[in-house]
Each structure stands twice: as C-alpha cells, then as structure tokens.
Amino acid sequence: MSKKGENIYKRKDGRWEGRYIKNRTPDGKIQYGYVYGKKYTEVKERLIVLKAKYTGKQNSQNIYYGDFPDWLLFWREKYLKKMVKQTTFSVYSGVINNYLLMYFNKKRLTKINSIDIQEFIEYLENLDLSSGYIRNIFHILKICLREAEKQGYINQNPCLGITLPKTKIKPVHALTIKEQRKLELAAFQSKSCSPIILALYSGMRIGEISGLKWSDIDFETETIHVQRTVYRISKSTGDKMKTQLVEGTPKTESSRRIIPLSQNLKKYLLDKKKEMNCEYVIADKGRISEPRLINYRFKRLLCIAGLENIHFHSLRHTFATRCLENGADITSLSRLLGHTSVKMTLDTYTDSMLENRRAAISAVDYLLSSSSQNFIEKQKLEKIVG
C-alpha cells in the first residue's frame, strides 16, 4: 500500500520504504535513492530532508517545479539558506516540514491561489497557534512564492491581499520580590557562577549567558560585552536528523550590546572568577555549559526553591520589571535588553509600567486639588461679600 503522491510504500516485511530522486544521468535518466523505517512518519520525515538535499544539488534547469513541495524544498536549499543565519534556517526548516509541506503536499505550484492561502491561515488559526507564529509561517510562504514569481514559475504571488490575524501580545510573567528572593537563595548555594544571578541582574538571554566569556567582562570599566550566543540547531547527516551546538553572533544587531556592571554583581563575579577553570563564565567540568543543560539545572533548582511553572526567560522579564519599578526610562531599558525598537519594549512591558503610570497621575493630581481649593475659597469669599 502506498501513500498517494509521496513515493512511500508499505513493504511485505512490514517496513515502510521511501523513494527519492538522487541523481540524473547525462542522458536524463533518473537515479533513485531509498530510505527505510518501521514507521510511516519516520520515513516521511527522513524523505523530506533527503529530497531537499539532493534537489538542491541538481542543476536548476533540470528541476521540475510542477509540485509546490518540490519548489519549496529547492528554494529552501538554494535561496533561504543564504538569506538567514543558521539558527533561523533551522527554525524555518521546522516550519516548512511541519506546516507548509504537510498542508500543500498535493498542490501544484501554479494552482495555488489567494483562496488557498486564506484557507491555510484559517487552518493555522484552528490549530490555536499564536498570531505572531502564524505571521512567521506566512512570511516564509510569502518570500518563497515571491521568488517563484521572480523566476517566472507563477504569474503573481498569491500572498498579496491576505488577511492575517491581529497580533496579540501575551502578558509577560515576572517573579514577585518574594519569589525572586527564594530563587536567589537557592542559586547562591552553587559554588560556580550561577546563570540565574546573571539573568536576574543583567537581563541577558539564556543563549547569551551560555556564550559569555570572562574576556567579555571588563571589570575596570564595569561593563559586560554581549557579542555571542549559543544555540542548538537541527542538522541532517546522511539520512538521519541530529542536533548540533553552535556558537554564533547575537540574535540581532541590537542584541550586540554593552551592559553596565552593577557593583554587587561585579563583586559576585570577581569572587567566582577566583575559582575559574574555563574561559566561559558558566562552565560545566571545564567546558561550556549549553542552554539545554542550564535550563535542566534551572528546573531542578526551582524544586529546591519551592517554585513551579517558571521559565528561564521569566528571569529576563523579572530584570526588566525591577528596572521599571525603580524608575528606569523605557529607552534605556530597551537598550539594556537589546530590543530592536523602543516600541517592542513598550508593547512587552506595558502592564509592568502600571506603577509608573500611577506616579505620573499623582504628579499632576495636585493641580486638581489646587483648583478645587481655589474654587471653594472663592465661593466662601463671595458669600462673605454678599
């Protein structure tokens, strides 16, 4: 039994077999490659990677662009890979495999129209995906079809004029002062430098903390230089998918920033530096401590502190909230966090600024009191004169 249009077949021995075009001879004859697995889904996932790998190696003049999945996989390898960073490419590849290939797997490239795209958006909304994530998926589809239009494979990009869900910004979760103190007490018990303390008092992301080296901290000028981040990406090796630890540049150009080093954090880091056995600030047995390990130990520490349902990224939100509570202006906070715009900071922490808004109201409230008092005194005077 085969899955229609996918070149995946159920063998007599119970296994699934997938077939893909591996090469073409000089006379145009197709040479096939094969992949096997116990489960259909396993073969399908491996087949997607292999199709993309070998399609990208062929000459573009020999590629058949009739089916949208064929074009999408070719575009991913030839164009997308050159446009974005490794980490972004890994994320986009996941989106392509999980949503675009699955939904449009039987569609002809030239047959996709705006109605299909709008129905796809509605399909994503029914999956309860966030509006931001849906917009990211749509963005990938749009630039893929834009290139198809540019190359002359379609007459017009069908993504034009599509109605997207309104962006909804989820409220951030920051620790209360009491929760923060409990977590800090547990973190201080660590002999080595704690990523929790760094996150709470610098606002750095987990990948930035993982990639921080002692050479990035200038104790003389009291600054921390954020200039790298560490992350894991998915990578295909042959017919298998594996993950690879990558050290790269920060998330955006704004993320490459300088953070002032507070006095107490400076003292804490200097104490930990005395027992330094690695070039990285957060180390594990003399080696870099990757985000996955940091997060695992963070979850374990939460149990010790008696806390739950807290993500490591919440420590960054906690740092931002404490800054706002203590009168930091939004522009300075935006620079500290490495946001691309002040608007992004405002949108993210608008609820955290409630106390600042109350202070602003109180600052002008005296005017009402003064006007009211003058009005009362004027009435009294008129009664006396009258």
Contact 289, 210 (CB under 8 A): yes
Q: CA-based Rg of the chain, rounded to a whole angstrom?
A: 28
Q: Are residue 52 and residue 72 in the same domain, yes or no?
A: no
Task: Please indicate, yes or no, if residue 375 is contained in any of the structural domains.
Answer: no
Task: Please indicate, yes or no, if residue 38 is contained in any of the structural domains.
Answer: yes
Task: Please indicate, yes or no, if residue 111 is contained in any of the structural domains.
Answer: yes
Q: Are residue 201 and residue 285 in the same domain, yes or no?
A: yes
In the prediction, which pLDDT does 59 show? 42
d(CA 102, CA 94): 11
Task: Please indicate, yes or no, if residue 163 is contained in any of the structural domains.
Answer: no
Q: Are residue 49 and residue 106 in the same domain, yes or no?
A: no
In the prediction, which pLDDT does 9 show? 86
Is the pLDDT confidence value at 70 over 80? yes
Tens digits of residue pLDDT in 122-171: 999 999 998 989 999 999 999 999 999 998 888 899 999 999 998 877 77
HEC-encoded secondary structure of 255-316: HCEEEECCHHHHHHHHHHHCCCCCCECCEECCEECCHHHHHHHHHHHHHHHCCCCCCCHHHH
Asked which of 275, 307, 339 is the last residue of a domain, the reply is: 307
Task: Please indicate, yes or no, if residue 382 is contained in any of the structural domains.
Answer: no
Q: Are residue 47 and residue 126 in the same domain, yes or no?
A: no
CATH code of the domain containing 73: 1.10.150.130
Tens digits of residue pLDDT in 3-62: 545 678 888 888 998 888 777 666 667 788 888 988 888 888 777 777 666 654 444 444
Q: Are residue 88 and residue 112 in the same domain, yes or no?
A: yes
Task: Please indicate, yes or no, if residue 214 is contained in any of the structural domains.
Answer: yes
Q: Are residue 12 and residue 92 in the same domain, yes or no?
A: no
Q: Are residue 211 and residue 272 in the same domain, yes or no?
A: yes
Strand partners, 230: 247
Is the pLDDT confidence value at 316 over 70? yes
Q: Are residue 143 and residue 94 in the same domain, yes or no?
A: yes
Contact 52, 75 (CB under 8 A): no
- pTM value is 0.71
Q: Domain total for the chain?
A: 3
Task: Please indicate, yes or no, if residue 169 is contained in any of the structural domains.
Answer: no
Q: Are residue 279 and residue 185 in the same domain, yes or no?
A: yes
Task: Please indicate, yes or no, if residue 106 is contained in any of the structural domains.
Answer: yes
CB neighbour class for 129 (10 Å; exposed up to 12, middle 13-18, buried from 19):
middle
Strand partners, 243: 234
pLDDT classification of 220: cutoffs 50, 70, 90: very high
Long-range contact pairs involving 356-362 (C-beta distance under 8 Å, separation at least 24): 356/324, 356/327
CATH code of the domain containing 196: 1.10.443.10
For 45-68, letters b (16+ CB in 10 Å) and e give bbbbbbbbbbbbeeeeeebebebb
Q: Are residue 51 and residue 73 in the same domain, yes or no?
A: no
For residue 115, the enclosing domain spans 68-151
Q: Are residue 202 and residue 250 in the same domain, yes or no?
A: yes
Q: Pick from 20, 24, 27, 33: which is nearest to 73 by CA? A: 20
Q: Pick from 20, 24, 67: which is nearest to 46 by CA? A: 20
d(CA 74, CA 186): 50
* CA quadruple 227, 230, 233, 236: dihedral sign: positive
Q: Tokens 């996989």 appear where? A: 73
Average pLDDT (337-342) is 92
